[in-house]
Structure 1
């Protein structure tokens, strides 16, 4: 594969450098079908599109036909890969792809893996497998768990050329979060204290006000906390939750926590983030809870999503409950 590099006219290395690299570009996308039973209600010939994803600078999506692409495929699940972007005249997008049903360990199942050899997507736009898997086979295979299954889409684009800049100096990633984390731990220059759940937390008014408009109003506005020199008491947040909140404010990351505590902590933090208007942390909690939905927690999480206006989290709960089995089990867990 050829590589072309720029060289200065005087024979010396230039102040900056770049390369044009020709070769193949590969990537993959995981498509999880949650609430499979609900998708069986989609009529034959009708599809549900996946979210868009990118490979090789191109945008793609998967077309999922739960009851087959054409009348003759009504007993099958059909899957197709679609190129979204408009292709310039005379330009070819030669790609091959593979669709694999994953087992419960995230490994491709060889008997349910389909490979499409290289085709020009600038011409066909959409290609796939009308008889990817028979629904009865899928339902009896053991790969359908909690009414869900996952498809891995591997895409390889041939003869791609892309520019790559070679930096003259290797710059490390930003570490400002580490410095602010050290500042919180050292307590150097702290000027405000909070008493939460019997524990005392020290912090810096300016840092809190910079990160949260609510803290800014409380600590620098005409409120009681803005003029007090004593500790501020917070009675409706647990100490562990407030500690995680402070850690995020200073470091933009959550402290390490036990996997079994993650769901409960995310629920408590979601309430706290709404109170202090920490939108990014709220979205992080929402995302974590989307992955924690089960029959015992879905009612609580759905109520939280409603109360705190978490639209994506609410949608994830409703998709989960669209399965009659999940709905029945969730009702039983509440009784």
Structure 2
């Protein structure tokens, strides 16, 4: 006995993609603010997925309603083709001082069709200018952004057998930026599962001994060594002397997020507070063996060396073995006008009495000019 058999087949449509990125540095940000709203500056061209692109930077937004914002757009340069629009997804990130995307300032666009030359997609309200100017991402009047682009280069159909063989190559998925910092920041903010408490300048702080220990060799020795029993279960407070509560709060924030909190308030007041906080945090970083934080504070203080701070900053650099900061102070004091002003300013007498070897070194430097 025989019977007719029906054939059944399956196929899959797959997308092939190509990815690339381009970093655009704005050197001389304050000068670009003089452009009118809607005026854009363009990056050099770059190629991703066989297509030519550039970034458009609008320092005063794309329209009057967004004149307080910085706008960025990804622009396609290619002429139209028979293949139709270019399908692409993109993200634009403000880069921190280490050249990594700042999670708070990373924006991801949806998959978009770029229909021809000058077709563009992006973020008209990418970042408020005052937020950039208050942030640590603007340094020496410069900042940088990175644009990541993924282009669909081909759609193809495969039968089930071929598709199964290619299963190890996943379809395109837009991966969001890292959020580990945010989760650890939430852990510090909520205090959930905290197992150690600190009392600093009359204020109590809850923390997690394992997080502190993995970030600081000093905390590791204290919390899993001599102070382990005293701090067990959070029943007792570990008292920390000679530190302001706000300094310890910022230290904890850095321990959990590997970043310092963004300052708030007027720019002038923020700069003064930034320098003072950097001095205190440098001492705390040295105390707890946190070298990266110490270098960050050095870098901040190098940008705040002036007549009113040079003497105290030089003494701080000597006491905490900050060679880069010490050199920045010496470079500032090479100017006779700056040297005379610093000698006459408050703080130089203390430097002379507390660090006489520094005065001798400074004299040798000046004599060798």
User: Which residue is 2:342 aligned to?
Assistant: 330
Tell me the CA shift for residue 166 of structure 1: 4.2
Structure possessing the higher relative contact order (Cα contacts under 8 Å, 6 or more residues apart): 1
Tell me the CA shift for residue 173 of structure 1: 1.3
What is the total number of aligned residue pairs between the two structures?
A: 195
The separation in 2 between residues aligned to 1:20 and 1:181, in whole angstroms, is 29
* Residues 146-189 of structure 1: per-residue CA shift (max 9 Å, x gap): xxxxx99xxxxxxxxxxx76482222211111111111111111
Tell me the CA shift for residue 330 of structure 1: 0.4
Q: Secondary structure at the match of 2:206?
A: strand
**Deviation larger for 181-190 or 252-261:** 252-261
Cα distance, 1:195–1:28 mapped onto 2, change above 3 Å: closer
User: Which residue is 1:304 aligned to?
Assistant: 316
User: Which residue is 1:79 aligned to?
Assistant: none
The separation in 2 between residues aligned to 1:248 and 1:232, in whole angstroms, is 19
Structure 2 residues without counterparts, runs of 5 or longer: 1-10, 29-43, 47-139, 142-148, 153-171, 264-269, 350-369
The separation in 2 between residues aligned to 1:218 and 1:11, in whole angstroms, is 59
Q: Secondary structure at the match of 1:287?
A: helix
Tell me the CA shift for residue 314 of structure 1: 0.9
The match for 1:184 among 183, 188, 204 is 188
| CA-atom RMSD in angstroms | 3.2
Tell me the CA shift for residue 260 of structure 1: 2.2
Cα distance, 1:316–1:206 mapped onto 2, change above 3 Å: same
User: Which residue is 1:84 aligned to?
Assistant: none
Tell me the CA shift for residue 17 of structure 1: 2.4
The separation in 2 between residues aligned to 1:270 and 1:26, in whole angstroms, is 31
Are the counterparts in 2 of residues 305 and 313 from structure 1 also a CA contact under 8 Å?
A: yes
User: Which residue is 1:137 aligned to?
Assistant: none
The separation in 2 between residues aligned to 1:185 and 1:18, in whole angstroms, is 37
Q: Secondary structure at the match of 2:239?
A: strand
- Residue 17, structure 1, aligned to residue 23, structure 2: no
Q: Secondary structure at the match of 1:17?
A: strand
The separation in 1 between residues aligned to 2:20 and 2:300, in whole angstroms, is 40
Structure 1 residues without counterparts, runs of 5 or longer: 1-9, 31-54, 58-150, 153-163
Task: Normalising by structure 2, report the TM-score.
Answer: 0.48
The separation in 2 between residues aligned to 1:324 and 1:29, in whole angstroms, is 30
- Residue 226, structure 1, aligned to residue 228, structure 2: yes
Structure number, greater radius of gyration: 2
Are the counterparts in 2 of residues 26 and 56 from structure 1 also a CA contact under 8 Å?
A: no
